[in-house]
Amino acid sequence: MLTTAVLIAASLYTPADEPKKNPFTGGKSADTKPADKKPAEENDSKIARVAHIKLSGDLDESPVPGEALFGAPPENLRSKLERIRKAAKDDRIQALYLELHDISAGFGKLNELKRAVTEFKATGKKTFVYSEELSTKAFLIALGCDQIYVPEAGGVTLYGMRAEVTFYKDTLDLLKLKADVLRMGTFKAAVEPFISDKMSKENREQITALLNDNFDHEIVAHIIAGRPAQKFTADQVKGIIDQGPFTAKKALALGLVDKLVYEDQLDATFAKQLGVDEVKVQKNYGKAKAQDLDMSNPFALLSALGSQKKSKESKDPKIAVIYAVGAISSGKGGASPLSGGESVGSEPTVAAIREAEKNPTVKAIVLRVDSPGGSALASDMIWRALKTCKKPVIASMGDVAASGGYYIAMAGKKIYAEPGTVTGSIGVFGLKLVTGGLEEYAGMKTEVVSRGKNSGVNSTTFAWSESERAAMMSTIEEIYAQFIDKAVAGRHEAGVKITREQLLSYAGGRVWTGRQAKERGLVDELGTLEDAIAEAKKQAGIDPKKEMELLILPKAETFLDKLMDGDVKMPFGAAKAELRLIPGADKVIKMAAPLLETQKDPVKVLLPFHVEFK
């Protein structure tokens, strides 16, 4: 069976073109070959090497395996950042060229990228951006670079921010379905799309505050700082945004880009900017290459499968970075068949915490959270494992660390958030989708024989009875009280003077940006993952500037691991990809995925809404 799977996979595999090697030839070094082995004109030319890195998609932070059976190993955000840092330290590289396509990452990840570009520029090297069309988020990355290029037929799709919340109550009514809901928190609006056809006053208030804060600080302020030659004011930038989107010529006239250039003109453009005769662009700089496999030999493939072993861990001191990416659920978690990303399983996350705690080479732990929350029970299990850990724990928030995501971060001795992180959402709700109406419409009838007044709590055929609602509400109220108490205790341990009454005023399910959360004492510092790692070193009594090895946990599963676990899900993945092509389907998948992935846990601590910021 394994051999069959390998043969099928091999038939689908097409090797990627390997990037050509472009060695830097300017100047002399001890390793320089005799002149007769190089063309004389190449020795006499002044040549610069440019590192090319392509960025696209949502730049997921989930751990990835270090090798892949077919093609190059997958990359995540950290892989991209490490390649930029590598280029900064590489004496053979004179400039960085970022190629941007369809960036959909949140403001937290964008901040990580902007920091990496800023650090690259601090070495005195030039930075260039090229994109056929710059979306708003791609433009925010581009603003940190020295030069921004688009082709003449391209453009800049900068037109501000827009929040869209879609409501499904009428759709559920048409399908004879009903959402039965209980909640604690006026702003806990995760359930609103299922029980209403419009936005509540409280939800509109929090979304407006969130949008305003990020619009002013993440977009307007960054445009002003990123285009200093134009000496824009905030009002001027807002006026420009109101005119968007822009053609390439209009963007150039407004000073949003530096030059209209086609891709085949980039080499000459780079050379002029760098003051050299020639440039050598090293495509996909620092990216790991695919394994060299004989695809005609099934035994070679089996051998490659067997060679996918875990790399041997060094005995050097290290910092463990534990990633919690996706909706939080009880059990194993892993790849989400709906969202396409990962879900945070309580079992592997707790196991990762225990592994880091027992590992004598690990001196401190950083918890990196990019999660809207999920199961209240699973969140509490992870919180407990972190809280009882005997090593220093620092929390770092990415794009989102809300509700259950904030819950697990509370265990940190210090909490770092990105300025644009969506966090808070301290609230609890219970939800079940009642299918009895649809069953009856389809001609099905259900009769019940039961013992126990509340035996129908988990029934999807019937709504909660008065007794069942009372029992569930009691549970939700108690979990909410625990959430509040643990949040207050965690803030006190971090040295924040906050009363229970104050925290209650910030809770109720309300969300905040990282900036707003810091102002209210919900987080301690604004900073990147690297800032959190530096703090972890400090907490462990180590010089924050000392370079240390990182232990990334939980360890990513290889292709073989997934094959053995029966978790490859190739056919479903293909169907999901096709489904996303249907207009509006992607929005429904993103909204429904966290709820469905945590459906076995009726009580949830989940972000109060799914909103599309466009």
Please indicate, yes or no, if residue 152 is contained in any of the structural domains.
yes
> Do 147 and 169 form a contact (C-beta atoms < 8 A)?
no
Active site residue 403: yes
- pLDDT, residue 183, reads 87
Q: Exposed/middle/buried for 347, CB within 10 Å: 0-12, 13-18, 19+?
A: middle
> Do 553 and 321 form a contact (C-beta atoms < 8 A)?
yes
**Same domain (yes/no): 295, 439:** no
Structural domain for 64, as ranges: 18-158+244-308
Tokens of 485: 């108490």
Tokens of 457: 């709590």
Question: Which of 414, 419, 417 lies closest to 536 in space, CA to CA?
Answer: 414
Q: What is the largest CA-CA distance in the chain?
A: 93
**Same domain (yes/no): 42, 145:** yes
Alpha carbon of residue 442 to chain centroid = 41
- pLDDT, residue 303, reads 56
**Same domain (yes/no): 375, 280:** no
Active site residue 196: no
Sheet of 333-335, strands arranged across:
178-184, 428-434, 603-606, 373-375, 328-329, 342-345, 333-335
Contact residues for 270 (Cβ-Cβ < 8 A; gap 6+): 48, 50, 95, 97, 128, 279, 281
- pLDDT, residue 496, reads 96
Please indicate, yes or no, if residue 561 is contained in any of the structural domains.
yes
Paired with 522 in beta bridges are none
Q: Which of 265, 290, 308 is the last residue of a domain?
A: 308
> Do 375 and 344 form a contact (C-beta atoms < 8 A)?
no
Please indicate, yes or no, if residue 119 is contained in any of the structural domains.
yes
Paired with 282 in beta bridges are 51
**Same domain (yes/no): 42, 82:** yes
- pLDDT, residue 305, reads 54
Paired with 511 in beta bridges are 424
**Same domain (yes/no): 326, 452:** yes
Catalytic residue among 343, 403, 425, 459: 403
Q: In the chain, which residues have pLDDT < 50?
A: 1-44, 308, 564, 566-581, 598, 609-612, 614
Q: Which of 308, 331, 362 is the last residue of a domain?
A: 308
- pLDDT, residue 38, reads 45
Q: Which of 284, 308, 332 is the last residue of a domain?
A: 308
**Same domain (yes/no): 297, 425:** no
Q: What is the rounded distance in angstroms from the CA atom of residue 523 to the CA atom of residue 371?
A: 16
Q: What is the rounded distance in angstroms from the CA atom of residue 284 to the CA atom of residue 281?
A: 9
Q: What is the rounded distance in angstroms from the CA atom of residue 54 to the CA atom of residue 72?
A: 14
> Do 472 and 430 form a contact (C-beta atoms < 8 A)?
yes
Please indicate, yes or no, if residue 239 is contained in any of the structural domains.
no
Please indicate, yes or no, if residue 250 is contained in any of the structural domains.
yes
20 SS3 class: coil
**Same domain (yes/no): 114, 146:** yes
**Same domain (yes/no): 417, 536:** yes
Please indicate, yes or no, if residue 182 is contained in any of the structural domains.
no
Sheet of 246-247, strands arranged across:
133-135, 155-157, 246-247
Peptide bond before residue 554 is cis, with ω within 30 degrees of 0: yes
Predicted TM-score (pTM) of the model is 0.85
**Same domain (yes/no): 455, 388:** yes
Please indicate, yes or no, if residue 118 is contained in any of the structural domains.
yes
**Same domain (yes/no): 543, 448:** yes
- pLDDT, residue 184, reads 86
1 SS3 class: coil
Catalytic residue among 80, 178, 188, 414: 188
Tens of pLDDT, residue by residue over 107-153, are 999 999 999 999 999 999 999 999 999 999 999 999 999 999 999 99
Question: Which of 441, 323, 371 lies closest to 598 in space, CA to CA?
Answer: 371
Tokens of 443: 């001609």
> Do 51 and 116 form a contact (C-beta atoms < 8 A)?
no
Count of domains for the chain = 2
User: Which H/E stretch holds residue 613?
Assistant: strand 612-613
Q: What is the rounded distance in angstroms from the CA atom of residue 435 to the CA atom of residue 456?
A: 13
Please indicate, yes or no, if residue 132 is contained in any of the structural domains.
yes
CATH number at residue 31: 3.90.226.10
Q: Which residues of 217-236 are buried (b: 16+ CB within 10 A; e: fewer)?
A: bbbbebbbebbeeeebeeee
Amino acid at 215: F
**Same domain (yes/no): 479, 503:** yes
Tens of pLDDT, residue by residue over 337-386, are 555 567 899 999 999 999 999 999 999 999 999 999 999 999 999 999 99
**Same domain (yes/no): 254, 335:** no
Helices (H), 507-552: 514-519, 529-539
